[in-house]
Structure 1
Amino acid sequence: MHNTLIHFIRDVFNTKGSIPLHAPFFGGDEKSNLVETIDSTFVSSVGAYVNAFESELADYCQAPYSVAVVNGTAALQTALYLAGVRTNDIVITQSLTFVATCNAIHWLGGEAAFVDVSMETLGMCPISLVAFLERHCEYDNGQCIYKRTQQVVKAVVPMHTFGHPADIEALASICETWGIALVEDAAESLGSTFKGKSLGTFGQYGALSFNGNKIITTGGGGAILCKNEIAYKKIKHFTTTAKVPHRFEFFHDEVACNFRMPNLNAALGCAQLAQLNNFIANKRELAAVYEDFFSEAPYTFVKEPEGCVSNYWLNAIICKDENQRNSLLTSSNDAGIMLRPVWTPMHLLPMYAKSIQGPLDNTEWLAKRLVNLPSSVRG
């Protein structure tokens, strides 16, 4: 069966050469935008394309505001900081995620606590979140308190895995009940929707990524979506070293970061964003081809949750067991086709192994069986 799958993927991508997991596609105004930016000399964090990219991104997501930053990790770290996460605070997230989710929590001095994912969405499971809160926490004077240590549970960070929407409406309701900030890790899900609403707009903040392997790329980059002008101004201030505006003086009024996206990256982003709807249509066509193939194969194809529209950033299958997964990964990579396992769960990494955690049965089951397929936009 492995050889049949390898030949099928080669046919789908129409090549005998190596096939990456996800490569960027440049078919618009990328080159002309970059040349224009270079000619203008405004290649750093000040320039017309930064403002244009932020405005166009907010319009696309139907979010009140967006702020472009240097990468997705910086976006998430900034969002958590603005949500109030500080030293010793707890942030509940999922263990089945990319390590940047936990690293953003760590560098603010926070502590990650892990709950399980849903088998239907691959994102945070609302049932697991409620079970964790009811067993380990109490609501006291407007705050959620972890009873064993009296730490404040300051935020919940679900991740929309591979672009598939988590049950974000239920998660938002739980966070509201418990007085916890909801910060969406929407790094992989630009263009995906839950009941017609863009991911990244349900929480207090949403963090996006435009790394080279995302559905659109700015080379390196990210963005924070937010709901009001006060938050927008705070994010802008924090990500520009908290410099107080002045014609010539340098005065900074708080400890902050230099996270602003350069104009050169934003120029690339504007050209990419203009093609996003076409990219999504292309990727959904690829997902349909995969789904049809795997209907007759001994693997389970991962489909978008009911009532949602996924960008299918990365297509995925579930193998029957770990041995089948390992055999498939070995044979495909030997053939020059980049299939990849899901990330090692965070609670199995040495730096997060002692983190607070609830039962993670689905996480560990999926980690032994899930495989990502080549998912690039096809020209």
Structure 2
Amino acid sequence: MIPLSIPHLAGNEWTYVKECLDTGWVSTAGAYVSKFEESIASFTGSRHAISCMNGTAGLHTAMNLLGIGTGDYVLAPNLTFVATLNAISYTKAEPLLLDIDPESWQLDLDLLQRFLTSDTYGKAGVRYLKADDRRIAAIMPVHVLGNMCDMDRLLAICRDHDLPIIEDSTEALGSTWKGKHAGTFGTFGTSSFNGNKIITTGGGGMIFTQDAVLADRAKHLTTTAKTDPLDYFHDEVGYNYRLVNVLAAIGLAQMEQLPELIQYKKRMDAFYRAQLSGVGDIQFQQITDGVDPNCWLFTFRTARMRELLTFLNDRGVQSRPFWTPMNQLPMYASLRYVTERNHASRVHATAISIPSSSGLSEAQLGEVVTTIREFYHA
């Protein structure tokens, strides 16, 4: 089986983890947590990076720090991994879904602009939905597959309409818009280090912010709101969202390899695009002008997605369909969905992800391409 997206552990992972085991610093205390945070902050240019147990916890923390809760809306794309909406739901806020651009698969900014202009109003620096006068507390753009939308335009729209931005940049570590890293545009950004991401800690996440006060609050909230290093005194309801030292050790070793991993992903992306261009009805994700993506997981569209999916998996080429749109899931089916042509549904019905692991050999990449061509030429 040629795997879809597995970790590439080829650096100092064993050395750093062994040090944790040898010294006994395997839990939430230990030097590797701060080293990992500092490495991520330095790489992305974020002033502050706060580690946590996963990307979902990072999103949840960000919303708590913005005071988002019962009765609020949070704008989010209809095509995303379910964790985006789950994190909103944890706060008792309600996701308000937006359709995507059919070419880039990012938030449709034209649609967003029309919606905010016609269906919302501002009062005292707060945005409200006209239909029910409820607050729209934030927008959560998702950098799908490491691509990004026109961030200059998104920032301008959000400034004009008093909308804080929480970036779900969990797939986009290393992606940039005009040289600025994903996750560093909004009030908060997040990263995920799940086993299938461009770097991994097995499980883990990171919260980005440029605000020192918010950074201190994020660290406090994610470490059970403990106020005293000796006494167990907690001054509010906090969360045990801490990243443990042994996983941070893996993360630091992975960060040392990240530039090399990104370059590999870009070569893989270029190879697939060159070799599959003109094959069958394949259509590629369009990269937004100004974006330098990390090329995390190669995904394309074809009307024969389901047939191709079965064909590839039966032949040992692990492939997966794209996420089910949020409004097609039972717990989110009744949400308000802002759309004109429902592009999210069309992309989902035709998109397939193919092997994109950083450790794939040229022979394996060639086998993936050969198998896809065999399907279309059969």
- Alignment match, 1:147: 130
User: How do residues 226-305 of structure 1 correspond to structure 2 at under 5 angstroms?
Assistant: 226-246=209-229, 248-298=230-280, 299-305=282-288
- Return the letter of the residue paired with 1:327: E
State the 1:188 CA deviation: 0.3
Residues 262-292 of structure 1 show CA distances to partners (whole Å, capped at 9, x for unaligned) of: 0011000000000000000001101111011
**Contact 1:49–1:270 (CA<8 Å) still a contact in 2?**
yes
Provide the secondary structure at the position in 2 that maps to 1:181. Answer: coil
- Return the letter of the residue paired with 2:317: I
Task: Say yes or no: does 1:376 pair with 2:354.
Answer: no
- Return the letter of the residue paired with 1:261: L
- Return the letter of the residue paired with 1:70: M
Residues 209-263 of structure 1 show CA distances to partners (whole Å, capped at 9, x for unaligned) of: 00000000011000000012101100011001111124x2111111110101000
**Contact 2:129–2:136 (CA<8 Å) still a contact in 1?**
yes
C-alpha distance in 1, partners of 2:137/2:325?
22
- Return the letter of the residue paired with 1:54: E
C-alpha distance in 2, partners of 1:120/1:48?
44
Q: 1:131 aligns with which of 99, 104, 114?
A: 114
**Contact 2:266–2:295 (CA<8 Å) still a contact in 1?**
yes
Task: Say yes or no: does 1:201 pair with 2:189.
Answer: no
Q: 2:312 aligns with which of 313, 332, 335?
A: 332
The 10-residue stretch of structure 1 (115-124 or 215-224) with the greater mean CA deviation from structure 2:
115-124
- Alpha-carbon spacing, 1:258–1:225, altered in 2? closer, same or farther (3 Å): same
- Return the letter of the residue paired with 2:318: M
- Return the letter of the residue paired with 2:311: S
C-alpha distance in 1, partners of 2:120/2:278?
46
- Alignment match, 1:345: 325
- Alignment match, 1:168: 151
**Contact 1:163–1:313 (CA<8 Å) still a contact in 2?**
yes
State the 1:303 CA deviation: 4.3
- Return the letter of the residue paired with 2:325: P
- Return the letter of the residue paired with 1:276: L
TM-score normalised to the size of structure 1?
A: 0.92
**Contact 1:66–1:232 (CA<8 Å) still a contact in 2?**
yes
TM-score normalised to the size of structure 2?
A: 0.93
**Contact 1:123–1:167 (CA<8 Å) still a contact in 2?**
no
- Alignment match, 2:5: 22
State the 1:363 CA deviation: 0.9
- Alignment match, 2:193: 210
**Contact 2:105–2:285 (CA<8 Å) still a contact in 1?**
no
- Alignment match, 1:36: 19
C-alpha distance in 2, partners of 1:157/1:81?
14
**Contact 2:150–2:290 (CA<8 Å) still a contact in 1?**
no
Calculate the aligned-residue CA RMSD, in Å: 1.1
- Alignment match, 2:342: 361
- Return the letter of the residue paired with 1:222: G
- Alignment match, 1:222: 205
Task: Say yes or no: does 1:48 pair with 2:31.
Answer: yes
- Return the letter of the residue paired with 1:210: F
Q: 1:186 aligns with which of 161, 169, 173?
A: 169
Provide the secondary structure at the position in 2 that maps to 1:244. Answer: coil
Q: Structure 2: 5+ residue runs without aligned partners?
A: 361-378
- Alignment match, 2:366: none
Q: Structure 1: 5+ residue runs without aligned partners?
A: 1-17
The 10-residue stretch of structure 1 (303-312 or 67-76) with the greater mean CA deviation from structure 2:
303-312
Matched pairs, number: 358
C-alpha distance in 1, partners of 2:189/2:92?
20
**Contact 2:321–2:351 (CA<8 Å) still a contact in 1?**
yes
State the 1:304 CA deviation: 2.6
C-alpha distance in 2, partners of 1:169/1:21?
33
**Contact 1:294–1:300 (CA<8 Å) still a contact in 2?**
no
